[in-house]
Amino acid sequence: MEEQLRSIEQEKIKTIGDVEKIGSSGALIKNTEQIKELVEEPLILACQILYDKNIQTVASNANCEGEQGEASIGIDWNSLSEQNRKIAESLGLTPIQNEFGQTISFTMPITKNTVLEQVEDYFSKLAQMFVLQEPSWIPRYSIDDLKTIYGYPENEEAEPSEFVESGYFYDDVLKTFYESEDHYRKINEWQKSENK
């Protein structure tokens, strides 16, 4: 009976070998729900913490193709505040140039038998060391910017509703478009906190 209980307990423990590979990197996270779609399971919490602190992640990986591998989260160095750059440097992280620009990466060696909870705890603790910062990485567009992006002829008029239908969020007061309502909220909250 005791062996059966141990066997059942071992079956419940998820490992890196159980992680479904997502394989997407470099996507701009537009809201918290999207993190679950773009980030592999043991890194979701850490990426959520970083997103909530207005820190831009550019890549993540938590699967192991062979016997050994490396879990990682990449952060856009140029989007970090001075305070967060100092925190990164105190952790021994230095920026490198890659396909995402200048980035820093948290890494952890893993095997297929590494327990997911260990990976989640390690990366979450690192993410918690950073502080809330201005979301300077969030893109903002004028109607003319979007007309150019979508190839409108120079003299053709466009209504904000055309781009809202394409998924943008429109701030009618500032006449500015955002990739999502969540981006608008983050910018607004930051500006309100700065004006106190």
Alpha carbon distance 62, 122 (integer Å): 12
181-187: average pLDDT:
96
Neighbours of 185 (CB within 10 A): 14
- The whole-angstrom separation of Cα 4 and Cα 1 is 5
A 10 A CB-CB count for 83 gives 12
Beta bridge partners of 103: 76, 96
> How far from chain centre, in Å, is Cα 121?
17
Which has the minimum average pLDDT: 8-17, 46-55, 64-73, 171-180?
Answer: 8-17
DSSP 107: E
The whole-model pTM stands at 0.88
Q: Does residue 30 contact residue 179 with C-beta atoms inside 8 Å?
A: yes
Question: HSE on the CB side for 53, CA within 13 Å?
Answer: 22
Give 20-48 pLDDT, tens digit per residue.
Answer: 887 666 788 999 999 999 999 999 999 99
List of residues 6+ apart from 7 with CB closer than 8 A: none
Q: Which two tokens stand for residue 66?
A: 């062979």
Q: Residue 38 and residue 154: Cα distance in Å, rounded?
A: 36
